[in-house]
C-alpha cells in the first residue's frame, strides 16, 4: 500500500475497515513449528500459569518486554518474527493470541481505531517506514491498532494490548488514546454470539462505534 500522508481520512479508514486482522504465516515446516513452540514455552516459563482461571487470563507481559514496538514487514513468518528486535502491533497481538490459545482460553483478534493528536501522528510518520509490505495505520488524528480479546466463557471478554502491555477497558472517555471503534473476533469462525465487553455488547466480526 502506498504511504500517502495526504490521503483523506475517510479513504484511509475505509481501508482499515476492510483490513483483516494480522496473522503470522507458517512455512508448514519445522522452522515455524519450532518457533511457535519456543514462544509458547516462553509463556510457561516466564508467566507462571497454574491453571486457575485468573491466572489463565493473566497478561503475558514478557511479550512487550521482549520485543520493541516498530514496523514489521508483511507477510511475516513465525520463524522470522521470533528473532526480530521490533514487531508491530499486529504481530504482537498475533503472538499474544497464540499464547492465550495455548493456555486453553478463548482468544480472538481485536482491531481498533483510536484518537491521537495530529502532532503525535506527525512524529510517528517520521519514524515509521513506508513502502510495500508496510501498512498505513496513520490518519489525520486517528490510528489503527490491534490487540487480543480473551475470554473464559466465550461471551464475556477482556481486551489486552500486547504493544503497550495494558488492558483496554470498556469505559472510554473522549480524548487522546480513546477507542473510537472496535472489531472483535469472532472466537470461532461464523459464531454470531454477542460478546460482552463490560456493559457493552459487541457483534463479533463487526465494527462497533465506541466514542465519537
Ligand atoms: Zn518458517
Between helix 30-46 and helix 89-103 the angle, nearest 10°, is 70
Give the model's pLDDT for residue 134. Answer: 73
Q: How far is the CA of 30 from the centre of ligand 1 (A)?
A: 7
Which tens digit of pLDDT belongs to each residue from 49-69? 555 666 889 999 999 999 999
- Report the candidate in 40, 173, 190, 38 with the shortest Cα–Cα distance to residue 102: 40
Q: How far is the CA of 36 from the centre of ligand 1 (A)?
A: 9
Q: How far is the CA of 2 from the centre of ligand 1 (A)?
A: 27
In the block, cell 503472538 appears at 95
Residue 72 near residue 66, CB atoms below 8 Å: no
Average pLDDT rounded to a whole number, residues 184-192: 92
Residue 157 near residue 100, CB atoms below 8 Å: no
Residue 125 near residue 138, CB atoms below 8 Å: yes
**Percent of the chain scored above 70 by pLDDT?**
90
Average pLDDT rounded to a whole number, residues 81-92: 96
Give the model's pLDDT for residue 2. Answer: 45
Instruction: Provide the 3-class DSSP secondary structure of residue 105.
Output: coil
CB atoms near residue 42 (< 10 Å): 17
Q: How far is CA 174 from CA 16, 73, 115, 120, in A?
A: 21, 32, 8, 17
What is the pTM for the complete model shown?
A: 0.91
Which tens digit of pLDDT belongs to each residue from 16-52? 999 999 999 999 999 999 999 999 998 887 655 555 6
Q: How far is the CA of 157 from the centre of ligand 1 (A)?
A: 32
Q: How far is the CA of 79 from the centre of ligand 1 (A)?
A: 4
Q: How far is the CA of 200 from the centre of ligand 1 (A)?
A: 39
Which tens digit of pLDDT belongs to each residue from 136-158? 899 989 999 999 999 999 999 99
Amino acid at each position: 500500500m502506498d504511504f500517502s500522508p495526504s490521503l483523506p481520512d475517510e479513504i484511509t479508514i475505509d481501508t482499515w475497515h476492510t483490513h483483516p486482522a494480522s496473522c503470522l504465516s507458517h512455512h508448514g515446516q519445522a522452522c515455524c513449528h519450532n518457533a511457535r513452540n519456543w514462544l509458547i514455552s516462553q509463556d510457561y516459563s516466564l508467566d507462571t500459569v497454574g491453571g486457575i482461571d485468573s491466572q489463565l487470563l493473566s497478561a503475558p507481559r514478557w511479550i512487550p518486554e521482549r520485543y520493541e514496538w516498530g514496523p514489521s514487514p508483511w507477510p511475516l513468518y513465525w520463524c522470522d518474527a521470533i528473532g526480530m528486535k521490533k514487531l508491530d502491533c499486529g504481530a504482537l497481538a498475533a503472538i499474544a493470541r497464540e499464547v492465550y490459545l495455548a493456555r486453553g482460553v478463548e482468544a480472538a483478534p481485536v482491531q481498533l481505531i483510536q484518537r491521537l493528536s495530529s502532532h503525535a501522528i506527525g512524529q510517528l510518520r517520521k519514524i515509521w517506514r513506508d513502502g510495500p509490505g508496510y501498512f498505513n495505520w496513520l490518519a489525520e488524528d486517528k490510528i489503527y491498532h490491534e490487540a487480543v480479546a480473551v475470554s473464559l466463557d466465550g461471551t464475556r471478554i477482556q481486551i489486552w494490548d500486547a504493544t503497550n502491555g495494558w488492558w483496554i477497558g470498556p469505559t472510554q472517555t473522549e480524548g487522546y488514546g480513546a477507542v473510537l471503534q472496535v472489531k472483535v473476533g469472532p472466537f470461532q469462525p461464523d459464531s454470531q454470539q454477542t460478546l460482552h465487553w463490560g456493559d457493552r455488547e459487541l457483534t463479533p466480526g463487526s465494527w462497533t462505534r465506541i466514542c465519537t
